[in-house]
A = this chain, B = another copy of it.
Amino acid sequence: MFLTVTLNLALDVTYRVPRLRAHESHRITDVTERPGGKGLNVARVLAALGHPVTVTGLAGGPTGAHVRALLAAGAGPAAAGAAARAPVTDALVDVAGNTRRTIAVVDGSTGDTTQLNEAGPEITAEEWAAFLDTYAALLTGTGTGTSTDPAEGAAPVRAVALCGSLPPGVPVGAYAELVRAAHAAGVPVLLDTSGEPLARGVAARPDLVKPNAEELTRLTGATEPLRAADDARRRGAHAVVASLGAAGLLAVTADGTWRAAPPRHVPGNPTGAGDSAVAGLLSGLAEGLDWPARLARAVALSAATVAAPVAGEFDTAVHAETLPRIEITSGRAAARDGA
């Protein structure tokens, strides 16, 4: 199984209004809610691809309970299109504070979104210590979760994905500690975060980091993606897969350098596209695909996520149609020209 870590879990709420005007009153015409946080998004896509996955992180208060109920309802065998869906096991750790909400207000007149993000609960030192214990137990196969499939309980962890921001109170070096624990357990680790938590995490030598171009520049100071990826590798990352938005992915690894680009611009909502790319990379790793095939899958899943009407879902038809048409170019010269 895969393990994803979501330290700053969220309830993602989407409101539709006919037209958003600042400082006025609005009646919301449509409300949708889903479990949120990047690690949960990655887990949802992995499960949809047929890979059992355990989610851990921190959840608390009435909003945390609500997210876990949605997760249990969505992960069960009764979920829509569940035939090929693998189980998602809840191994989240309870905290006292209330899990954050994110509110996306979609303006029906323009399609534009206004985002309001709560910061997340303050995590105590005791809660963080309890999480570290759970995480270590999950990595070594001695941890348990509330799986929908009892057989998944003791499966070895193929890889762990550390995703998203840190809630208040969690040490800024948290991801470095989680990277080291994964290595100690012999589990490959992917890191997808930003800012100082990324800088500290990279120094602990994760197997793969997946920043976007802006995060990579913030990390390294270099604006040219290939140069910035080289720098990130010098800082400790074994491999770098940089998201270049609509232009696809740039991978700089010990095995080579590649660019992977979608065949056309896909219009839609980019929310969750990066998380789908992470799921594509992890699932490709688990299935023994080589780098070009992993990157093609990651780019096709990203495009299929942008095309889906619901943020964070992916359109299986777009995925199937796009996958054979991803353009892969190899080598440093091509990577530099394309980016």
Instruction: Please list the residues of chain A having a beta carbon within 8 angstroms of any beta carbon in chain B.
Output: 15, 17, 20-29, 31, 62, 65-66, 69, 103, 105, 107, 110, 112-119
Contacts and interface: CB of A to CB of B under 8 A. Distances in A.
A23 B117 contact: no
B31 A118 contact: yes
A207 B115 CA distance: 45
A25 B112 CA distance: 11
Contacts of A116: 15, 17, 26, 28, 103, 105
A67 B329 CA distance: 56
A118 B14 CA distance: 11
Given A20-B22, A107-B22, A119 B27 contact: yes
Given A20-B23, A24-B115, A62-B65, 20 more contacts: A15-B116, A15-B118, A20-B22, A21-B114, A22-B107, A23-B113, A23-B114, A24-B114, A25-B114, A25-B115, A26-B114, A26-B115, A26-B117, A27-B117, A27-B119, A28-B118, A28-B119, A31-B118, A62-B62, A62-B69
A272 to B, nearest CB: 15
A118 B115 CA distance: 17
Contacts of A117: 25-28
A103 B15 CA distance: 11
Contacts of A105: 116
B22 A21 contact: yes
Contacts of A118: 15, 28, 31
A117 to B, nearest CB: 6
Contacts of A25: 114-115, 117
Contacts of A17: 116
A22 B106 CA distance: 10
A106 to B, nearest CB: 10
A29 to B, nearest CB: 8
Contacts of A107: 22-23
Which of A31, A110, A114, A118 counts the most B-chain CB atoms under 10 A from its CB? A114
Q: What 5 pairs across the A-B complex have the smallest Cβ distances?
A: A25-B115, A23-B112, A62-B66, A28-B118, A26-B116
A130 to B, nearest CB: 24
A23 B113 CA distance: 5
Contacts of A115: 24-26
Contacts of A103: 103, 116
A113 B15 CA distance: 17
A164 B118 CA distance: 29
A17 B28 CA distance: 20
A316 B94 CA distance: 39
A62 to B, nearest CB: 4
Contact of A22 (B29, B31, B65, B112): B112
A193 B20 CA distance: 26
A23 B110 contact: yes
A126 B121 CA distance: 39
Nearest to A113: B23
Contacts of A62: 62, 65-66, 69
